[in-house]
Structure 1
Amino acid sequence: MPNEFNQQIIDEFRANKGRLSGYFAKARLLLLTTTGARTGTPHTTPVGYLPDGAGRVLVIASAGGSDRHPDWYRNLLAHPQVGVDSGVFRYEARALVLDGEERERAWARAVEADAGWAAYQRKTERLIPVVALQEIGRPGPPDINASSPGEAIRLVHDVFRRELALIRGEMTNGSGGGTLGAQLRVNCLTFCQGLRNHHAGEDTVMFPLLADRHPGTAPVFRRLREEHERIAALVEDLRRAVTDATADPATARAEVERLTLELEAHLTYEEEELIPLLDAGN
């Protein structure tokens, strides 16, 4: 059973589709469900995560600097297949404990993004594990925690809005030293790839399906595709800015602002036009 503090977070997380208030309002959190090493029963724990690209996220078994590994870590050592709930997306993942140089690189990125991890390591003699959670692919559409197709598209859009807002805040607060941190680069590139994949899915699957069902909507989809092209160009500009080690961080911040303005307008228009069409049969 989760402790009372964790249960309050879990309840709020589930009630608000991953959004939290207070101290965790700007944190990247997920719900990790592991299988008990001794009991074989499921246990759900809220944990912080770091984007790692390619359908993978990293979680850190800090236990607040305790000398004892957290229960969820010992569980996944025994049963590496775990459940992941982002509040919007739910999926199964394979847990892999990183070691050697891969662990050190991931740890350095984590500490660069949040010095609190280093503070936890100083409190204990155990080497704090870094665990990669690799999504296990499955056929069909993603499992989205929504009650209707219209709600699903809005929730997915909100994921992009929230992540972009987090990236903007990280760029403002963390690039004063004249460089972009390694983890911030990963966050940006993960966001860019996710947005590209989302728009590709809309262009090839959703838009043709809705256009066939709703004659007369061609101008809407023509505009949305044109906006996808403009956003793709802005995403590429951002990718170049964050992968150029010699670039001024101000350039990357400017590209994020340009992308934010275009994307916000696009998402709003898309929701206004598509949600009524998506929910028309419900």
Structure 2
Amino acid sequence: MTEEQYEHFDVGAFQRRVIAEFRANAGKVAMFGDEASLALVTTTGARSGLPRTVPLSYVDVKGQKVIVASAMGAPRNPAWYHNIRKNAMVTVETGTETFEAIAAIPAGPARDALFAEVVAIEPGFGEYQAKTTRPIPVVTLHRVDGGADRVRGMGDFVVEAHDWLRAELAELRRRAGEGEALIRTADLGRELRAHCLSFCGALKQHHHGEDAGAFPMLAARFPSLAPVLEKLAAEHVVVARAQERIRVLVEEYVPGESDPVRLREELDRLAAELEAHFAYEERSIVTALNALGPAPEIP
């Protein structure tokens, strides 16, 4: 399709006819044939914020549903692709089932490799690429529910790390609380330092791993998460400052001389900041992290 033809083609009317027939016939649309893999994908309008449903053919690549922003080789990316860049959550209808999914956008070599696999299955997409100078994007759809046999993902691993850190901080707070009742316990200072070293070191490593690894991967695959990732990175700086205050208090803590109330107050403040950070992170990026791949195996 030429640019002039694309400009005058009533895409909206065509899509409405296909959607109506799809829903009336359990996913079958005569013009695409019985063997076509067709889905209705509902995105959220990047400008309007309203649901936008489009019929799209998909390719199954090693069990992964992939949709292609070909627009039949038109010079511009289709609107649904821009919507996904703004909000990665979509609803997918296949005719036999409807499910929520998160849409990932591979870039660079990952995009090229996946597009090559798509073309090997459906050569028509290669013909569309030959008609346009833009690299045609490919988008992978990852079910949010997953079912009982869902593979434990990177997001699940992050939640497990958060729970371990929560438990370590709770123990540190408990030991600091004992400082008021056992203020002259000789071993209290050493115990506090040991717990602080374990917790603070693990939290620092966890945040470094996110800043250097997980967040760049998410930014590349999910452009819509950019504001969320910026906020989380900024919170890492705030938490690091709180950690440093606590480290100094613990290092200088002398049972019977230091003020246990101040230490406990600082720990309570860090706990509140950290819980808010963890909760926001779990709401915002765990689903996307799970879409990146399985959790690492820890020996």
Larger radius of gyration: 2
Given the two structures, how large is their TM-score scaled by the length of structure 2?
A: 0.44
Given the two structures, how large is their TM-score scaled by the length of structure 1?
A: 0.47
